[in-house]
Amino acid sequence: MKRPSVKWLAVAAAGCIFASSMGTYTYTALADEFVYTDANVSITSIVDHYIEENGGDVFTADATPEDATAPAAVVAEATATDAVATGEIQEIAKVTGEIAEVPSEETTEAPATEEPTTEAPVQEASEAAASPVMDFTGKAIVTASGSVNIRQSGDVNAAKVGTIDAGGLVNIVEKGDTWSHITSGNVDGYIRNDLLAFGSDAANYASANLSKVAVVNTAALKLRKEASTGSEEITLLAQGESYPIVETGDAWTKIQLDTVTGYVKNEYITISYNMPTAKAVSAPAQDTTTTEAPTTEAPTTEAPTTEAPVTEAPTSDLGQQIANFACQFVGNPYVWGGTSLTNGADCSGFVQSVYKNFGYSLPRTCTPQSNAGTAVSLAALAPGDLVFYDHGTGSCEHVGIYIGSGQIVHASSSRTGIKISNVNYSTPFKACRIVN
């Protein structure tokens, strides 16, 4: 059988690559053939079909070894990415070779470009991939050693509209000579400039004084047991959620998820800092047994919190009342084995103590709590429902209280204490309703 000309092989290969650009096929390398996995049609089959339809005219009698070696090999390398959309792994076809067309006099090689995908190109685990660091342009950080007041206007005698703890992050609406107009959380007001660090000064302050967190910057991100794409997947992490950093590497970062640690790829996180946001003065007090010193514009010794509670609206619904009550304790510590809403609780101890205040007696630990009440689907969550997480183990590892708007309040970890998170900050596996 006569050998096919380089021109026709190149055309066939180019046709395959063009089809891939339309987003309809995924490619894999099988033996020496470049295969459409969806249609199971090889380049060789495409050429044979063309030959059959055109009477065999695509073969030349004077094909030379140079013709056979002129086109570079075209390889489709399927690489699983750690950034996934809608909870499913997407395969990315990466074209690494070149296709050469043979003109009448000399060969001009045109390198093939990487096929377009819906995600950022995937890097191998061995490659360095530094994460972007948070930009503090238009932002400021509270540098006082304790809480400061946020005023309705730039005057120390103006009404107090909120407070913010040391290390808190604010957005600058307008910087004045003595006071700046800021927003933070759900608070809009004014803070004295001498209590803030702005822009690059804020970045330097954060780097020197605040603990780092990893913020997920893709739709869903795999948390793995080891720093390798071949390592076992623990769970999926949600976009926008932040996780304490245990250690950083060139391509992977080790983070903490509740009481579990694991690794994420650097290109899918942004390095930020543990920065509380402002609390409105209308937020309810925490607990009658908790002693709080009044905040002023001067620094106090009050310990900073890690999250701001959501704004609660009065309601007669018992589930919502339970959720609102639980939110009062945001910022209080996580203590393994603890049940105190003010001095420290673990995840199940927090849930047990919150419900105890409403006359419900729940089991002490996570697993029996997951079997209490009535099972509900994750799509039908209502405030007060309990949401459970297995972190890839298949058994209950963590529990939080759903508060509405796609959020839970939970005793997260010793690093973050009691906080509010997205309900899918990790992949939930079960939910139940205690209040009917």
Catalytic-labelled residue, pool 327, 366, 396, 410: 410
φ, ψ at 119 (rounded to 5°): -130, 170
Q: Residue 271, Cβ neighbours under 10 Å: how many?
A: 18
User: Sign (positive/negative) of CA torsion 405, 139, 253, 350?
Assistant: negative
In order of 1, 170, 183, 253, 299, the CA distances from 142 in angstroms are 79, 8, 13, 27, 10
In order of 220, 350, 426, the CA distances from 87 in angstroms are 6, 29, 11
3-state DSSP assignment of residue 93: strand
For residues 169 and 277, the answer to whether their CB atoms sit within 8 Å is yes
Rounded Cα gap, residues 40 and 246, in angstroms? 46
What's the angle, vertex CA 330, arms to CA 329 and CA 332, rounded to 5?
70
For residues 403 and 420, the answer to whether their CB atoms sit within 8 Å is yes
> Is 347 an active-site residue?
yes
Q: Strand 196-198 relative to strand 187-192: parallel, antiparallel, unpaired?
A: unpaired
Rounded Cα gap, residues 72 and 95, in angstroms? 12
Nearest CA to 216 out of 235, 239, 234 is that of: 239
φ, ψ at 169 (rounded to 5°): -105, 135
Q: Residue 277, Cβ neighbours under 10 Å: how many?
A: 20
The token duo for 434 is 């205690």
> Is 398 an active-site residue?
yes
> Is 49 an active-site residue?
no
What's the angle, vertex CA 197, arms to CA 306 and CA 166, rounded to 5?
30
Catalytic-labelled residue, pool 347, 366, 391, 396: 347
Three-state helix/strand/coil letters over 287-343:
CCCCCCCCCCCCCCCCCCCCCCCCCCCCCCCHHHHHHHHHHCCCCCCECCCCEECCC
Nearest CA to 208 out of 141, 261, 276 is that of: 141
User: Sign (positive/negative) of CA torsion 424, 270, 180, 285?
Assistant: positive
Q: Which residues are catalytic?
A: 347, 398, 410
